[in-house]
């Protein structure tokens, strides 16, 4: 089968990986470089964790996600998962930190529970006076996205897939099976996968009913010198508790210490709008970390990275069939960790024609 893939984020790259492995003739078209630092998949790292709060469907599907990454590491010849484990905290009864723990309990997921003082002994950046408890799970950590993109691009080229970089797709012909590039070139295909992330509405405007566009930002922080060693070994932090919906990724082998927060996201008019950091944006992200971090004024914001992404109303992923084109959206702010598994599932859907099975799996309802 001849397949054209629009988009070199993790959904497009992983689909290219899975289809190429199965012997299909793949062309991947990306409007920027690989990795494209403006894409949702283009940041230094993203978290993978078993904790899914009240979303039990995804908590069940996550085992397949871990297993698919292992298959990908086997092909790439090295792992890009920094398996530091995952820490979460609760500050107030009923906060997200508590909900994630309840999800672990429902799923029978093992974790180590720490009283505040014990947590601060293990993780000296925590102010023990501000938390009710912390808990750590061994599975998960940080996926090193930029390295994954580079290695996948190399692997795809070695296996004969075609990469068209810096080539935006301007039109899709879903009836005949073809895409048109900005320079006027046309690529024909039996099937087209549209994995265009936040840019998807330009190619498939009717999805505006289902996908809302948002802008957010993450801040990279330099911790105080005496806490640098503790951060260098820290787990990923799934939720700091309280109301900030804040998470952190530790510095891993040259990547930075990062904070992001659900409360920071805002509706956006276009994926490329307001992509320069707003003055003070990094500082407001830094301040969200106290409580529960100790000495937050001793941290310095070193860099702010903006992101554009889409959400469905129920925060599930989406697929949508339009003639020979299949839109795949690993959206709603939690799709990276499923990347390799999404690629395999998309390849199966193209081979079997069973789009409903793909959608049910993407919605974690299979
Ligand atoms: C701040 C933030 C934090 C997140 N944290 C996590 C996390 O910790 N764990 C997790 O699992 N998920 C996380 N996510 C979600 C995750 O990043 C996304 O779900 C995932 O990266 C989406 O991948 P994608 O391939 O669907 O889209 P994208 O990565 O956006 O890729 C789409 C690609 O398509 C290209 N493209 C678009 N239009 C065209 C066109 N016309 N022609 C050619 N190319 C085109 C774009 O340039 C882009 O490279 C986070 C998201 C954000 C924004």
Q: Which ligand 1 atom minimizes the distance to the CA of 247? A: 8
Instruction: Give me the pLDDT at residue 76, please.
Output: 98
Q: How far is the CA of 181 from the centre of ligand 1 (A)?
A: 20
Q: How far is the CA of 145 from the centre of ligand 1 (A)?
A: 10
Instruction: Give me the pLDDT at residue 366, please.
Output: 85
**Model confidence pLDDT, tens digit, residues 193-208:** 999 999 999 999 999 9
Q: What is the spatial distance between Cα 76 and Cα 359, in angstroms, rounded to a whole number?
A: 28
Residue nearest to atom 37 of ligand 1 (CA): 196
Q: Is the CB of 342 under 6 A from ligand 1?
A: no
Q: Which CATH architecture has domain 2-66+144-207+314-362?
A: 3-Layer(bba) Sandwich (3.50)
For the entire predicted model, the pTM comes to: 0.98
Asked if 87 and 230 touch (Cβ cutoff 8 Å), the reply is no
**Model confidence pLDDT, tens digit, residues 23-70:** 999 999 999 999 999 999 999 999 999 999 999 999 999 999 999 999
DSSP 8-state code for residue 257: E
Domain limits of the chain? 2-66+144-207+314-362, 86-138+212-311
**Model confidence pLDDT, tens digit, residues 121-163:** 999 999 999 999 999 999 999 999 999 999 999 999 999 999 9
What the block records as the tokens of 292 is: 């529960």
Q: Is the CB of 335 under 6 A from ligand 1?
A: yes
Helices (H), 79-179: 96-107, 116-122, 145-158
Q: What is the spatial distance between Cα 162 and Cα 146, in angstroms, rounded to a whole number?
A: 20
**Nearest Cα to 155, choosing from 34, 52, 313, 50?**
34
End-to-end CA distance of the chain: 26
Q: Is the CB of 196 under 6 A from ligand 1?
A: yes
Q: Give me the sign of the Cα torsion angle 201, 149, 331, 281.
A: negative
Q: Is the CB of 101 under 6 A from ligand 1?
A: no
Encode the chain (366 residues) as per-residue pLDDT tens digits: 999 999 999 999 999 999 999 999 999 999 999 999 999 999 999 999 999 999 999 999 999 999 999 999 999 999 999 999 999 999 999 999 999 999 999 999 999 999 999 999 999 999 999 999 999 999 999 999 999 999 999 999 999 999 999 999 999 999 999 999 999 999 999 999 999 999 999 999 999 999 999 999 999 999 999 999 999 999 999 999 999 999 999 999 999 999 999 999 999 999 999 999 999 999 999 999 999 999 999 999 999 999 999 999 999 999 999 999 999 999 999 999 999 999 999 999 999 999 999 999 999 998
Query: Pocket of ligand 1, candidates 48, 187, 333: which has the most ligand atoms within 8 Å of its Cβ, to mutate?
Result: 333
Question: Is domain 86-138+212-311 annotated with CATH 3.40.50.20?
Answer: no
């Amino acid at each position: 089968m001849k397949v054209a893939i629009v988009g070199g984020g993790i959904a497009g790259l992983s689909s290219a990986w899975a289809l190429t492995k199965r012997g299909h003739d793949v062309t991947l078209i990306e409007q920027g470089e690989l990795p494209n630092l403006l894409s949702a998949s283009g940041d230094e790292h993203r978290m993978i964790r078993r904790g899914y709060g009240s979303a039990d469907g995804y908590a069940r599907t996550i085992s397949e996600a871990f297993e698919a990454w292992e298959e990908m590491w086997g092909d790439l010849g090295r792992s890009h998962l920094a398996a530091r484990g995952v820490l979460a905290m609760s500050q107030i009864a009923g906060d997200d930190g508590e909900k994630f723990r309840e999800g672990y309990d429902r799923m029978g997921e093992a974790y180590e529970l720490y009283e505040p003082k014990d947590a601060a002994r293990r993780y000296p950046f925590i102010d023990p006076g501000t938390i009710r408890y912390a808990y750590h799970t061994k599975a998960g950590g940080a996926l090193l996205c930029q390295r994954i993109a580079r290695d996948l691009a190399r692997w795809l080229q070695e296996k004969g897939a075609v990469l068209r970089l810096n080539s935006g797709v301007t039109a899709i012909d879903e009836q005949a099976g073809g895409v048109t590039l900005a320079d006027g070139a046309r690529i024909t295909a039996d099937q087209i996968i549209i994995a265009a992330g936040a840019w998807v509405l330009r190619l498939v405007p009717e999805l505006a009913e289902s996908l809302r566009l948002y802008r957010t930002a993450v801040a990279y922080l330099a911790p105080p010198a005496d806490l640098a060693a503790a951060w260098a070994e820290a787990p990923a932090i799934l939720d700091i508790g309280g109301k900030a919906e804040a998470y952190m990724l530790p510095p891993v082998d040259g990547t930075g210490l990062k904070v992001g927060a659900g409360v920071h996201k805002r509706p956006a008019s276009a994926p490329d709008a307001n992509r320069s950091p707003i003055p003070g944006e990094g500082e407001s992200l830094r301040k969200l970390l106290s409580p529960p971090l100790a000495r937050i004024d001793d941290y310095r914001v070193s860099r702010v990275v903006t992101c554009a992404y889409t959400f469905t109303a129920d925060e599930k992923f989406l697929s949508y069939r339009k003639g020979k084109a299949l839109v795949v959206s690993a959206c709603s702010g939690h799709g990276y960790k499923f990347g390799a598994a999404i690629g395999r599932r998309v390849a199966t859907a193209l081979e079997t024609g069973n789009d409903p099975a793909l959608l049910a799996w993407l919605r974690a309802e299979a």
